[in-house]
Chain A
Amino acid sequence: MDLASAKPSSWLSDQRARGLIYQILLIGCIAALACGAIYNAVVNMRARGIPMGFGFWNDVAGFDINLHLISYSNQSTYGRAFWVGLLNTLLVAAISIPLATLLGFVIGVARLSPNWLLSRLALVYTSIMRNTPLLLLLLFWYNVVLKSLPGPRQSISIGGAAFLNDRGLYLPLPVAREPASLFAGAVLAAIVLAFGFRAWARRRQDRTGAQAPTAVVAAALVLGLPALVTAAVGAPFTFDIARLSGFNFQGGLQIIPEMAALVFGLVTFTAAFIAEIVRAGVLAVPVGQSEAAGALGLHRDLSMKLVVIPQAMRLITPPLTSQFLNVVKNSSLAVFIGYPDLVQIFAGTVLNQTQAAVQVMAITMGVYLVISLVVALALNAFNARYALRGR
Chain B
Amino acid sequence: MDSLAYVRDAPESEDAPPMMSSGVLAWARVNLFSSIGSSLVTIGCITLVAYWLPQLIAWATTRAIWSATDGALCRQHQDGACWAFIAAKWDYLRFGSYPVAERWRVDLVEAVGALLIAWLLWTNAPRRMWGALLFFIVYPILALVLLRGSSLLGLPVVDTLLWGGIFVSLLTAVVGIVFSLPLGVLLALGRRSPLPVVRTASILFIEFVRGVPFITILFMANNLAPLFLPEAWAPDRLLRPLAGIVIFSAAYMAEEIRGGLQSLGKGQYEGAMALGLNYPLMTALVILPQALTLVIPGIVNNFIGLFMDTTLVSVVGITDFLEAMNNAIKDPVWAGPTIMVTGYVFAGIFYFCFCFGMARYSAHVERILAKGRK
Which residues in A have some Cβ–Cβ distance to B below 8 Å? 19, 22-23, 26-27, 30, 36-37, 40-41, 43-45, 47, 50, 113-118, 121, 127-128, 130-136, 139-140, 143-144, 148, 208-211, 297, 329-330, 332-333, 335-336, 343, 347, 351, 357-358, 361, 364-365, 368-369, 372-373
Contacts and interface: CB of A to CB of B under 8 A. Distances in A.
Interface string B277-320: 00000000000000000000000000010001101101100000
B320 to A, nearest CB: 10
19 contacts: A23-B195, A26-B197, A26-B201, A30-B201, A45-B227, A114-B34, A115-B34, A117-B41, A118-B41, A121-B45, A130-B355, A130-B359, A131-B359, A134-B308, A329-B213, A336-B314, A343-B213, A364-B216, A368-B211
Contact of A361 (B198, B216, B326): B216
A143 B345 CA distance: 12
Given A361-B220, A365-B220, A44 B227 contact: yes
B211 A133 contact: no
A365 B212 contact: yes
Contacts of B198: 22-23, 26
A147 B325 CA distance: 18
Nearest to A37: B228
B227 A365 contact: no
A133 B308 contact: yes
Interface residues of B, number: 60
B348 interface: yes
Contact of A131 (B38, B213, B355): B355
Interface of B: 2, 4-6, 8, 30-32, 34, 38, 41-42, 45-46, 49, 194-198, 201, 207-208, 210-216, 219-220, 223-224, 226-231, 304, 308-309, 311-312, 314-315, 322, 326, 337, 340-341, 344, 347-348, 351-352, 355-356, 359
Secondary structure dominating the interface of A = helix
Given A127-B356, A128-B352, A115 B212 contact: no
Contacts of B42: 115, 117-118
Nearest to A134: B308
Nearest to A352: B223
A368 B45 contact: no
Given A139-B344, A208-B2, A329-B212, 17 more contacts: A19-B194, A23-B198, A26-B197, A26-B198, A50-B227, A117-B31, A117-B32, A117-B46, A118-B41, A128-B352, A130-B355, A130-B359, A210-B5, A332-B215, A343-B219, A357-B227, A361-B216
Contact of A347 (B38, B216, B312): B216
Contacts of A128: 352
A387 B261 CA distance: 24
Given A19-B195, A361-B216, A365-B220, A132 B344 contact: no
Contacts of A41: 227-228
Contacts, number: 157
A43 B348 CA distance: 45
B322 A135 contact: yes
A280 B38 CA distance: 22
Contacts of B322: 133, 135-136, 139
Contacts of A118: 41-42, 45
Contact of B215 (A27, A132, A335): A335
B211 A361 contact: no
Contacts of A139: 322, 326, 344
A366 to B, nearest CB: 9
Q: Which DSSP category, helix, strand, loop or mixed, fits chain B's interface?
A: helix
Contacts of A144: 340-341, 344
A37 B214 CA distance: 22
A89 to B, nearest CB: 10
B352 A131 contact: yes
Given A114-B38, A121-B45, A361 B352 contact: no
B42 to A, nearest CB: 5
A295 B228 CA distance: 67
Nearest to B40: A115
A361 B41 contact: no
Nearest to B337: A148
Q: Which 3 A-B pairs have the closest CB atoms?
A: A372-B211, A131-B355, A116-B31
Nearest to B223: A357
Nearest to B217: A365
Q: Which of A37, A43, A131, A148 has the most CB of B within 10 A?
A: A131
B284 to A, nearest CB: 17
Contacts of B49: 121
Contact of A116 (B32, B195, B355): B32
Contacts of B201: 26, 30
Contacts of A368: 211-213, 216
B211 A336 contact: no
Contacts of A113: 38, 41
A363 to B, nearest CB: 11
A135 B228 CA distance: 30
Contacts of B356: 127, 131
Nearest to B49: A121
Q: Pick from B5, B195, B213, B214 the residue with the most CB of A within 10 Å.
A: B213
A47 B337 CA distance: 49
Contacts of B220: 361, 365
A343 B216 contact: yes
Contact of B231 (A37, A47, A373): A47
A209 B45 contact: no
A116 B355 CA distance: 25
A327 B207 CA distance: 17
Contacts of B219: 343, 347, 351, 361, 364
Contacts of A131: 304, 308, 351-352, 355-356, 359
B340 A143 contact: yes
A148 B315 CA distance: 24
Contacts of B340: 143-144
A201 B312 CA distance: 54
A131 B303 CA distance: 12
A145 B105 CA distance: 39
A230 B107 CA distance: 72
A116 to B, nearest CB: 4
